[in-house]
Amino acid sequence: MRSLHSVPGHDEVQIVSVPEPVAGPGRVVVELVATAVQPVDPFFATETGRQAFGVTDETGLGWDLVGRVVATGPDVTAYRVGDVVAALDDQLFAADRTQADLVALDVDALALVPEGLDPLDAATVPLNALTAAQALDLLGDADGRDLLVTGAGGAVGGYALALAVSAGWSVTGLGRERDEAFVRSTGAAFTTQLDPASYDAVLDPASIVDAALAAVRDGGTYVGVQSTNVPESERVTTTAVMVHRDGDRLAELLARSASGELEVRVAGTVPLAEAATAYAKVAAGGQRGRWLLVP
């Protein structure tokens, strides 16, 4: 079968042929319907990216997946052949990941795609919505506090806005002027500039660390999305989310997407065989929504 890899000596995604996976205990094999290309993927496919992550071996690519179950492990009862499921693969350095014809996954990473949610739309949810939700968990209850979300027009930022508004935060989204209508549609306020010491908490998907940290009031909290780049501060609490698989939480987020509470955004679809095209589009930046690879 085909699998997308980051290969030493290459600076572009490579399509390689690998054996089909087997559904061992506690696992299922899923046939690809769609998998999202995330901004980190083109970087991780380069020599510079591999060095940044400390990776020397050939490594699989991809975080999100929607597909149909084609095989189940001997002890798996929660899923059946034919089920359409979504998943987050958080095994960063695995030999094969979600950008492949077939993927073997642990059942605790899976969630059924609910009725009313297009499987292509569902493929944009796992990484970004789980990152947003788990980042907000680090902030605790709203308790009347206000929150700034940077990169509010992006995928993680967009989900964070809607989830934070629903959780009772007074939310402001920082973005470009073209993002204003989207940001306000979530119930958040909108701004294009940062003022020092203006918010009780800042969630920073845009990773504008110094400026975002300065925007937090004394005693507040900064949450980043890069666990290797947590700033130090004597004024505020600083932390970062390390996204992890959570099938139950993913099921909740998919249901909220199906209801329209969370807006899903697809930039376009590209066949897996033409993955380099999607990678180039994502690497160019400025995307709103995710490019999807399909069979």
Q: Where are the domains of the chain?
A: 2-124+264-294, 128-240
The burial class, CB within 10 Å (0-12 / 13-18 / 19+), for 38 is: buried
Q: Report pLDDT digits (tens) over 43-100.
A: 999 999 999 888 989 999 999 999 999 999 999 999 999 999 999 999 988 999 999 9
Q: Report pLDDT digits (tens) over 154-192.
A: 999 999 999 999 999 999 999 999 999 999 999 999 999
In the predicted model, is pLDDT for residue 116 greater than 80?
A: yes
Cα–Cα separations (whole angstroms), residue 194 to 148, 173, 211: 9, 10, 7
Which residues make Cβ contacts (< 8 Å) with residue 247, sequence separation at least 6? 87, 107, 108, 109, 110, 111
In the predicted model, is pLDDT for residue 228 greater than 70?
A: no
Percentage of residues in the chain with pLDDT exceeding 70?
99
The first and second tokens of residue 241, run together, are: 């989310």
Give the relative orientation of helices 247-258 and 126-137 as an angle to the nearest 10 degrees: 110
In the predicted model, is pLDDT for residue 232 greater than 80?
A: yes
Residue range 128-240, CATH number: 3.40.50.720
**What is the C-alpha separation between 3 and 79, in angstroms, rounded?**
24
> Which DSSP letter does residue 152 get?
T
CATH topology of domain 2-124+264-294: Quinone Oxidoreductase; Chain A, domain 1 (3.90.180)
Answer whether 206's CB lies under 8 Å from 157's CB: yes
Handedness of CA 45, 46, 47, 50 (dihedral sign): negative
Average pLDDT of the chain to the nearest whole number: 96
Partners of 189 in the β-ladder = 172
Q: For position 89, what pLDDT does the model report?
A: 97
pTM above 0.75, yes or no: yes
3-state secondary structure 36-66: EECCHHHHHCCHHHHHHHCCCCCEECCCEEE
Quick one: pLDDT band at residue 288, thresholds 50, 70, 90? Answer: confident
Q: For position 287, what pLDDT does the model report?
A: 80
Answer whether 249's CB lies under 8 Å from 241's CB: no
Note the Cα 68 to chain centre separation in Å.
20
Q: For position 231, what pLDDT does the model report?
A: 85
